[in-house]
């Protein structure tokens, strides 16, 4: 198991790399070129500039999250081939600089969805929150307004303003795109890039849908055991793999996360570990990583990984906002302190399990 920590880049993250370096066990930074638009080639010069800063801090940058996929690829438009060629070149440029894993998603329009960026919890902290009843009662443009209220001065990945200004146009484009059609478009994409991945030894790790059920009528491909299996079966190369996110998949209490880890262990390249507390309405709040604070059995997840001899990357994913973190000084879900506490909790679980697991 290799512990990592997400960082949003030069001039885009209030957390200095030297702070991340001080978190015990963290050797890897999960990074991206967040100013690049979907479909653009990441040049060697741009990649090396970012990695130079990461390496200077004494950290590695083996994981990228994300190289976003252009909507023309997801929609299966004739123009997708040029965007796929650009994607291939980006993968080659990343591999030349020792990047080993690319975390990405294939979600239509919205990357991830919450209704409150700083929802108050009982202990006085705040956290990301999803109110299912709110989503059922509003229009997509109203969701955009909720995000604008909570994002502050820091960009939210997947909710770039340039893209969101096209929201009506995008919904029109996705009319008639079913789960089956979206999966066929995914197959076209993954079949096109896997030869490059195999040649350059760079693994693709698709992230689950967040939340793991349809919203605004948009289809989902990565939300439960059945459709994940279908996605892995469309191309059986080990380079077509998973980012297994316990918070995303755990937001649907019908998902048996431990059984899924056991079933997919040979295709899980990257773990996002966080806890959520799901209520009887299907709404959920993000909470601390401690098992008893939420619905996800974090200790059980770590045990399943330990028993499968998982040797991939883990990051603590989102955290609460604590110790003075608020709308004025932190990116929602991505403060320093609770994620650092999460690292230590996960490290403690792992160390204990390694001693006791035969």
- Closest listed residue to residue 130, CA positions, set 318, 341, 272, 302: 318
What is the model's pLDDT at position 216? 84
Q: Which two tokens stand for residue 96?
A: 């030349």
User: How many residues would you count in the chain?
Assistant: 358
Query: Using omega within 30 degrees of 0 as the cis cutoff, is the peptide bond preceding 211 cis?
Result: yes
Mean pLDDT of 245-255: 96
The DSSP result for 114-178, as a single string, is -SEEEEE-TTS-EEEEE-HHHHHHS-HHHHHHHHHHHHTTS--TT--HHHHTTHHHHHHHTTT--
What is the model's pLDDT at position 10? 85
- 334 as an active site residue: the answer is yes
The answer to whether 306 and 346 are in contact (CB under 8 A) is no
Percent of the chain exceeding pLDDT 70 equals 94
> Pick the catalytic residue: 8, 104, 174, 334?
334
Which residues contact residue 22 at a Cβ distance below 8 angstroms, ignoring those fewer than 6 apart?
A: none
- 207 as an active site residue: the answer is yes
What is the model's pLDDT at position 123? 95
- 70 as an active site residue: the answer is no
Strand order in the sheet with 284-287: 116-120, 126-130, 284-287, 275-278
What is the model's pLDDT at position 312? 95
What is the model's pLDDT at position 62? 97
- 269 as an active site residue: the answer is no
What is the model's pLDDT at position 155? 65
Token pair 């899980």: residue: 268
pLDDT at 151 > cutoff 60: no
Question: Checking DSSP bridges between strand 203-206 and strand 126-130, what pairing results, if any?
Answer: unpaired
What is the model's pLDDT at position 153? 61
What is the model's pLDDT at position 357? 72
pLDDT at 133 > cutoff 60: yes
> Pick the catalytic residue: 103, 197, 245, 306?
245
302 confidence band (pLDDT: 50, 70, 90)? very high
What is the CATH number that goes with domain 2-357?
3.20.20.150
> Pick the catalytic residue: 70, 119, 207, 269?
207
Q: What is the mean pLDDT of the chain?
A: 93
- 272 as an active site residue: the answer is yes
109 confidence band (pLDDT: 50, 70, 90)? confident
pLDDT at 163 > cutoff 70: no
> Pick the catalytic residue: 70, 119, 289, 318?
318
Percent of the chain exceeding pLDDT 90 equals 79
pLDDT tens profile 188-220: 999 999 999 999 999 999 999 988 888 888 898
Mean pLDDT of 258-265: 97
Q: What are residue 270's DSSP bridge partners?
A: 243, 313
283 confidence band (pLDDT: 50, 70, 90)? very high
């Amino acid at each position: 198991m290799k512990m990592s920590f997400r960082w949003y880049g030069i001039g885009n993250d209030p957390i200095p790399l030297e702070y991340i370096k001080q978190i015990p066990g963290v050797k890897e930074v999960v990074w991206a070129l967040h100013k690049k638009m979907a479909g653009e080639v990441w040049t060697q010069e741009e990649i090396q500039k970012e990695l130079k800063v990461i390496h200077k801090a004494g950290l590695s940058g083996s994981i990228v999250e994300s190289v976003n996929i252009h909507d023309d690829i997801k929609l299966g438009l004739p123009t997708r081939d040029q965007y796929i060629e650009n994607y291939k070149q980006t993968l080659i440029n990343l591999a030349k600089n020792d990047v080993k894993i690319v975390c990405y998603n294939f979600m239509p329009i919205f990357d991830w969805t919450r209704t409150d960026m700083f929802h108050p919890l009982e202990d006085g902290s705040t956290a990301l929150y999803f109110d299912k009843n709110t989503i059922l009662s509003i229009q997509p443009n109203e969701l955009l307004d909720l995000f604008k209220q909570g994002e502050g001065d820091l960009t939210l990945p997947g909710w770039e303003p340039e893209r969101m200004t096209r929201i009506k146009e995008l919904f029109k484009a996705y009319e008639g795109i079913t789960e089956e059609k979206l999966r066929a478009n995914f197959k076209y994409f993954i079949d096109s890039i896997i030869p490059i991945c195999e040649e350059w030894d760079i693994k693709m790790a698709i992230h689950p849908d967040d939340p793991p059920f349809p919203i605004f009528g948009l289809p989902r491909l990565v939300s439960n055991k059945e459709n994940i299996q279908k996605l892995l079966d469309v191309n059986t190369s080990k380079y077509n793999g998973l980012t297994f996110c316990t918070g995303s998949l755990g937001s649907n209490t019908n998902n048996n996360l431990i059984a899924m880890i056991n079933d997919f262990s040979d295709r899980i390249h990257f773990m996002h570990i966080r806890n959520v507390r799901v209520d009887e309405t299907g709404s959920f709040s993000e909470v601390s990583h401690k098992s008893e604070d939420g619905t996800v059995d974090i200790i059980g997840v770590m045990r399943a990984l330990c028993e499968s001899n998982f040797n991939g990357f883990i990051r603590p994913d989102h955290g609460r906002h604590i110790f003075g973190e608020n709308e004025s000084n932190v990116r929602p879900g991505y403060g320093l302190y609770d994620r650092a506490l999460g690292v230590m909790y996960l490290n403690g679980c792992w160390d204990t399990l390694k001693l006791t697991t035969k």
